[in-house]
Amino acid sequence: MAVSHKVDYSKTRQRMVDEQIASRGVTDIRVLNAMNKVPRHLFVEEALHGQAYNDYPLPIGEKQTISQPYMVALMTEALELKGDERVLEIGTGSGYQAAILAELAEWVYSIERIRSLANKARKILFELHCYNIEIRVSDGTHGWKENAPFQAITVTAGAPEIPQTLLDQLAMGGRLVVPVGNAFSQTLVRFIRTKGGFKRENMGGCHFVKLIGKYGWQEE
């Protein structure tokens, strides 16, 4: 199926950026422009297109979600991308955040543990001509050693503790953003790799589906 452009959502998307993202303090103009450009509705099933720009996550199948637009923007801004980075995303899901990252960095490596989601994401990203993204199906808690180090790493599922494997794959000065906590609520944490170790900053509360894998939660 070709990409459908039946409804023009550009005004709805601009409203999402103004009322949900800029108004809450996201100021990086490159992030705001990317959020304004990527057609979020195409990453959810057609019956949900009308809700794609609302202020909440949506189901994408396999009991997983596409994150709330503001959360995508907040996490992306915290990565401080300038355009020449190699970025690692753990949790491709719908592929939406990968598309945003691809607007802002040189290359995006994204890992998803559920094959059907990875396949759907690959298809829509190809149809949208996002060619600077590589998606792998595996347990992302191991990171992607062959392509490390990364200037930025984002984990879009909640971890019980900070995966050391991912910290190890950060470049000097690199940023890791990861939700850490229990199954019901987490704190969004940013780590910056410095010469002396890692600087840690708490960015506030959040709620994500579980990061399942060797260095995450056990499969149920």
Stretch that binds ligand SAM, among 1-9, 34-42, 88-96, 197-205 (CB under 6 A): 88-96
Give the active site residue among 4, 10, 23, 67: 67
Compute the CA torsion angle 50, 39, 46, 155 (nearest 10 deg): -100
Locus of tokens 């959020």? 35
Distance CA 185, CA 181 (A): 6
108 binds ligand SAM (CB under 6 A): no
User: Which of 3, 172 has the CB closer to ligand SAM?
Assistant: 3
45 binds ligand SAM (CB under 6 A): no
A 10 A CB-CB count for 15 gives 12
CB 49 within 8 A of CB 77: no
Q: How far is the CB of 218 from ligand SAM (least distance, A)?
A: 11
Contacts of 68 (CB under 8 A, 6+ apart): 55, 56, 57
Residue 159-198 contact track with ligand SAM, rule CB under 6 A, x = bound? ----------------------------------------
87 binds ligand SAM (CB under 6 A): no
CB 181 within 8 A of CB 217: no
Task: Choose which of 39, 93, 143, 181 interacts with ligand SAM (CB under 6 A).
Answer: 93
Half-sphere exposure of residue 196: CA atoms within 13 angstroms, side-chain side: 2
For this structure, is 185 an active site residue?
A: no
Residues that bind ligand SAM (CB under 6 A): 64-67, 90-91, 93-94, 96-97, 111-114, 117, 139-141, 156-157, 208-209, 211-213, 216
Active site (catalytic) residues:
67
